[in-house]
Structure 1
Amino acid sequence: MSATNELRADHVQVRRLEKIVFKCAEELKDGADIPLSDLTKITIIISEFVDTIHHSREEDSYFPCVASYDSLKDEIHKFLVEHEFGRNVARKIHHHLKRWKAGQDAREPVSRYLKTYAIFLNDHLNKENKFFDDAEANVLSKEEETDMYEQYRSIFAVVKKVEDMIKEIDFLENQPWFKN
């Protein structure tokens, strides 16, 4: 396996999350009752998997390695800006969910920001997948790919956390509001 393929594997799971987030936003907009605990799970997956693990792999290892060749720097900068945009939207979801849990009517902003996040994920993943193709084909050596992959897999706690987050995605996909 390679670092690029590991990031693509992350994207498969993030794509599943994107579908959950979009469905959740639509269900909320249509007045469906979705347990606040499920909404909390979504925010946790966004924070702990998408941002803390996946984006960190890209920002701390993959992007710097690609950029070290003076290659694809404009694209990398755009991705960093997009990651920050995603973090800002995620903070808004969390903020309004907290308000909702405190008894305020925050259904609409939670729904709106969830939909915004789903749209962001769709667009972002499409662009990053094309970037990965280019970086893999034209920039990174097999040795660099292997070294980064080994680095990703060497932190057992992260590997375990990814497995836990995938279980949470499985759980959400099996909820009645998602299956409708």
Structure 2
Amino acid sequence: MSQALDALRHEHDAILSTLKILRCMAERALQGNADADDIAALLGFLQEFVDKCHHGKEEGLLFPALQRVDLAHQGELVGELTAEHEQGRALVGALRQASTPVLDAEAFAAAAEAYAVFLERHIDKENDVLFPQAEQALGADELEGLGQAFADFELQAIGPGRHEELHDLLHRWKAAYAG
């Protein structure tokens, strides 16, 4: 097991927890108990942690590494996953549209469920297909280099200590929404 891919798997676990919280927020919205500040913060989390940090590592570092070692074999999967990242961005846009300037609880709940189902399938594909292929295709030195590159990328993309701050926020939401 590679530390770089384990880090991405760990981020997937955090993302899956976030999807549970999103569903709880959507349910509360339908009941008339929405917290607009928490919804806005969660959407910010999705953009910063899921897209900028996590997808940034995949698109900027992992996918190019895979394409370098076997462009013909990996290119199709990488293209599919990149397109899915774009689809995820559009779904977050739908969540934002349903929540601002005034929350439309039904539209928000529908968008939340669509995003959660979509991202769960995407994560399964990466965990079950992409990561095992990456472990076979990339050598130990390249995987170790990716681990360091991920750490460097994260510092530049979101800044020092921000990853931990985001995880702390996730833990607070777990206690408030999924506890």
Seq. identity, %? 23
1:58 corresponds in structure 2 to 58
Range moving further from structure 2, 44-53 or 151-160: 151-160
1:83 corresponds in structure 2 to 85
| Structure 1 consecutive aligned stretches of length 4 or more whose deviation exceeds 6 Å | none
1:170 corresponds in structure 2 to 171
- Residue 128 of structure 1: CA displacement? 0.5
Pairing 1:1-180 to 2, within 5 Å after superposition: 2-29=3-30, 31-69=31-69, 70=71, 71-100=73-102, 106-130=104-128, 131-136=130-135, 138-154=136-152, 155-156=154-155, 157-158=158-159, 160-175=161-176, 177-179=177-179
- What is the CA RMSD across the aligned residues, in angstroms? 1.7
User: Per the alignment, in what secondary structure is the counterpart of residue 99 of structure 1?
Assistant: coil
Once residues 142 and 79 of structure 1 are traced to their aligned partners in structure 2, the CA distance between those partners, rounded to angstroms, is: 23
- Residue 144 of structure 1: CA displacement? 0.7
Alignment-mate amino acid for residue 113 of structure 1 = A
Unaligned segments of structure 2, at least 5 residues: none
- For normalisation by structure 1, the TM-score amounts to 0.88
- Asked whether the equivalents of residues 20 and 178 of structure 2 are also in contact (C-alpha less than 8 Å), the reply is no
Once residues 118 and 45 of structure 1 are traced to their aligned partners in structure 2, the CA distance between those partners, rounded to angstroms, is: 14
Number of residue pairs the alignment of both structures matches: 172
- For normalisation by structure 2, the TM-score amounts to 0.88
